[in-house]
Amino acid sequence: MSKNEIRKLCINADDFAQSKVIDDAIVDLAKHGIITSTSALVLSPRWAASAQRLKDLPIQVGLHLDLTSHFTLAFGFHYSLPRLIFLACIRALSKQDLKKIIELQWLKFTEIYRCAPDFIDGHQHIHQLPVVRDALLSVIAENKWGGEPNQWLRVCRAQHWQGVKAMVISSLGAKSLQLKASQMNIATNTDFAGVYNFDEKCNLENNWRRWLSSLSGNKPLVMCHVAVPSQSADLESGSAIAHDEIVRARVNEYHWLKSNEFQSLLKARHFL
């Protein structure tokens, strides 16, 4: 890459429709051209109304496949993340049952948003797990999705060392998903970053400097988790915010992405 070449960067905001504070942050960042995409939790009761807020925004909208959030409880298909990982790794999950819940989420996305998702990823990266990925790819094939230039699958595989947590996430199926997507001629991101421990006291500027310095390929992706500030009383209520253990880290990410320092860093690293 030449010194002055501008590189494209996908900045994806996860968890749209989880709560109002998350939706407000994502819409605001999209309007200001800071994020390039968002992925939606379509089992949330907010999805039908919240989806309309995305219609005229200059971003891609994807399906955030969900098997572990509290929203799944209402549909009789809920796993804790550790149990889902365990059952997936020993191949003890039912592919047919998985297909049903994936098809339900596909329908909820397409019926409300009136088109197929631009991309697909997973809440807590569950889309890449053994058996889950096979069920997902089966639904994708049946819907003849993935052939358009703007359609792609997220692969949670960093091309360079990004820490232990990123390595663990990748080890749960990223390479296999990338290989199978390639065999089906489905595009994927070329690199992946944004993994950290959601410590609300962490230095986000240092994180982003490290992530941006090592990204490779023509479609690298950095995920983010954002929310606008809320009243402290809301954090203790029975609302969706109360289920969100990382809401304070989300607010910090939102403020960082809105900062002049972040824009300066993007320019210094030759990213749009």
- Domain spanning 10-268, CATH architecture: Alpha-Beta Barrel (3.20)
Q: For 258-271, what is each residue's pLDDT tens digit?
A: 999 999 999 999 89
Q: DSSP class of residue 117?
A: -
- What is the spatial distance between Cα 29 and Cα 164, in angstroms, rounded to a whole number? 29
Give the model confidence (pLDDT) of 33-90 as tens digits: 999 999 999 999 999 999 999 999 999 999 999 999 999 999 999 999 999 999 999 9
Could you give phi then psi for residue 175, rounded to 5 degrees? -65, -45
Q: Which helix (H) or strand (E) holds 62?
A: strand 60-65
Q: What is the pTM of this model?
A: 0.94
- Check if the beta carbon of residue 109 is closer than 8 Å to that of residue 51: no
Quote the Cα angle for 101-219-39, to 5°: 30
Any idea where the domains of the chain sit in the sequence?
Answer: 10-268
Q: Alpha-carbon distance 135 to 146, whole Å? A: 15
Strand order in the sheet with 37-40: 187-188, 152-153, 119-122, 60-65, 37-40, 10-16, 220-224, 191-193
